[in-house]
Amino acid sequence: MRNVQIILNAILSKNIFEYILVDRKLHVISASQGVRKYVNAMPKEGDDVLEYLPELVGNEEEIKQIFVEKYCLYTLESVYKNNDYVNISVEYCDQNTAIILLHNITAITRAQQNLLQYSNESTLLYNTLQKVVDSQNTMLFVTNAEKIEFANKKFLNFFHAENIEEIQKKELKLYQKLDASLQNYRELFVSLKEGEKYLKLGKDIFIVQATQIEAAHTLFTLTKITDFPHEMQLDPLTGLYRKDYLNEMVEKSLQEKRNFALVVMDLDNFKQINDTYGHLTGDKVLKAFVMLLKQHIRKTDLLVRWGGDEFLLFLEDGSPENAILKIENIRKLIDEYHFETIDHLSCSFGLSYTKENDSVDSLLQRADKALYEAKIKGKNKVLFKEE
Amino acid sequence: MIRKKILMLGDFAVGKTSLVRHYIDNTFDDVYLTTIGVKVSKKMLAVNHVELELLIWDIEGETPSKKIPKAYFKGASGAIIVCDASRKETVEGIREHIGDLLAFNREAKYVIAYNKSDLLSAQQKETLSLSENTFLTSAKDGSQIDILFTTLAKEILL
């Protein structure tokens, strides 16, 4: 009875508790007036309490056990009753009486409901967004500076992972596959500002792009390009097209009777760079050289890698003189540029310009001859071959 | 008259409350309002000449961080396991809900509702392989709701 007295005192002082006293058969003995608002009617003596509290149905035997066990056996939380929420508990009173307490918890439950609503809606939105990114044909992943924190299904599948935890265990350092000097994804993001990069994973080549989401996170996308015929001709080290693609462009331009220059360029003494500093440094020099050139040619120009340290440039210009001037500027730029590790690099250039009845081969032949002469005459030169 | 307690079980936002509301009041509201705790509704049925009062426990949906209070399972004769047919993760949760039910009452009967079927295309519906006592329901258009509840009621009275 001690507990009951405490509770009854609470009932008297606040309107948060109501009670129904029941006998061993769960018939009503009496009830507090406030019960009415929960059960729509005032329970009368002798009524079956289950008529008013159907929540107790199925637990009759368990509730009756409290007369045997003599302690609180049954509690039911957060029950909705006529716009209110109550906790229902049944407690032993004496050998013929049990008290059913209805504890009004509406205020706190409504607050919990608001939180739960917000949480559930957020989860639904998250799941929807997850489906959207999973449906993309591009691999997406989000990183902080050091590690991958989110990835879409396409990315997980590519790396044979079920979830992001498995990806994190693999410690994929994709930035190092792009450039061995990069230390983390933050540096990769910065390097991508200079231009798009190409990542070779197995047989596939991907364009890598990055977007800063907020201060701590960056979204990277890997778009597979090897499915497309032209992109199959990409050089994985520099991301430049190979010569075949240039051939197509030159042939098309010749058919359309357009005037343009074809430039063959060859890095001077590149073999010595490889021999002195190693091939890794050689690769970095090639990348830096390409980056420098790309910054100083137009989007309509086409730079391709012919092989090794030889490159070709398709330059659509109004006259051979303009083309020579432009290439001379590029030569100077390279000559004056400070390359990491090796410091200085120079390049020789051979030019040809379209004339009547030209073909890819004839243009290339003249440009190649001009390059040969530039090398003979001491390198770091631009020479033009008219015939 | 016989009274039987049945539970509405399923992940959150699968439409448990909407199914009950349609069954009891024949109404539908597509605004999602999270259920918290439990609301018990009554429905009188005549099954094979037996008067049955179903006490339908509309229980808050389970989330990974909030499990259903075990006290709600006590004394249940059966359950309607509800999933959202358009959300794969809720379909995958069916097995766990059945396990929870049978852990408390091995004799409990259940039926399964693939709800929100109005969101599925005819082709998607065809690809679903539904077992016995599984129904493609929609609280929006009311399809298969009555048969869902009456099938469970019959199972319970068997």
Is A299 a domain residue? yes
Structural domain includes residue A285? yes
Mutation pick from B40, B70, B90 vs chain A, by most beta carbons of A within 10 Å, is: B40
What's the confidence (pLDDT) of residue A304?
93
The per-residue pLDDT for A5 is 61
What values do phi and psi take at A21, rounded to 5?
-90, 135
CA A39/CA A102 separation, integer angstroms? 11
pLDDT of residue A165: 92
State the smallest CA–CA distance between residue A120 and chain B in angstroms: 7
* ipTM confidence score: 0.90
User: Is residue A261 domain-shared with residue A171, that is, in the same domain?
Assistant: no
Q: Which of A104, A128, A153 is the last residue of a domain?
A: A104
Whichever domain contains A260, its CATH number is: 3.30.70.270
**Residue A110: inside a domain:** no
Q: Does A108 touch chain B (CB under 8 A)?
A: no
How many structural domains is chain B composed of? 1
B contacts of A128 (beta carbons < 8 Å): none
Same domain, A291 and A329: yes
Q: What is the pLDDT of residues A236-288, one digit of tens each?
A: 788 888 888 888 889 889 988 889 999 999 999 999 999 999 988 999 999 99
Q: Do A151 and A39 sit in the same domain of this protein?
A: no
Final residue of a structural domain among A104, A128, A149: A104
In this predicted model, what pLDDT tens digit does every residue of A309-337 receive, in sequence order? 999 999 987 789 999 999 999 999 999 99
Q: What is the pLDDT of residues A336-374, one digit of tens each?
A: 999 999 999 999 999 999 998 899 999 999 999 999 999
Percent of chain B with pLDDT over 90: 72
Residues A259, A359 share a domain: yes
Residue in this structure with the two tokens 């809900």, named with its chain if needed: B97
For residue B145, the surrounding DSSP H or E stretch is helix B145-157
Residue after which a domain boundary falls, among A171, A203, A224: A224
Say yes or no: A283 and A147 in one domain.
no
Q: What is the mean pLDDT of chain A?
A: 88
* Pairwise CB contact (< 8 Å): B34 & A85: no
Identify which of B32, B33, B37 has the shortest CB distance to residue A79. Answer: B37
Domain annotation covers residue A353: yes
Average pLDDT over residues A147-158: 92
Domain containing A250 equals: 235-384
Chain B residue nearest residue A55, CA to CA: B40
Answer whether residue A11 is part of any domain.
yes
Smallest Cα–Cα separation from B16: which of B157, B148, B121? B148
State the smallest CA–CA distance between residue A127 and chain B in angstroms.
Answer: 9
Q: What is the per-residue pLDDT for B147?
A: 96
Do A264 and A343 lie in a common domain? yes
Domain that holds residue B69: 2-157
Provide the pLDDT for residue A70.
Answer: 80
Positions of A marked catalytic: 309
Site from B14, B34, B72 to mutate, A interface, most A CB atoms within 10 angstroms: B34
How is the beta sheet containing A382-384 ordered, strand by strand? A241-242, A302-307, A310-315, A261-267, A347-353, A382-384
**What is the domain-level CATH number for residue A75?**
3.30.450.20
Residue A249 CA to residue A253 CA, distance in Å, equals 6
pLDDT score of A89 more than 70: yes
Query: What mean pLDDT do residues A178-188 have?
Result: 85
The answer to whether residues A375 and A255 belong to one domain is: yes
| Residues written for chain B | 158
Q: Report the residue of chain B nearest A76, measured CA to CA.
A: B71
| Candidate from A79-83, A166-170, A171-175, A177-181 with smallest mean pLDDT | A177-181
Residue B67: pLDDT band with limits 50, 70, 90: confident
A212 and A251 belong to one structural domain: no
Q: Could you write out the DSSP letters of every residue in A39-87?
A: HSS---TT-BHHHH-GGGTT-HHHHHTHHHH-S--EEEEEEEETTEEEE
Query: Residue A8 has what pLDDT?
Result: 66
Residue B12 belongs to domain with CATH number: 3.40.50.300
Among the residue ranges A171-175, A176-180, A265-269, B105-109, the one predicted with the least confidence is: A176-180
Res. A152: pLDDT tops 60? yes
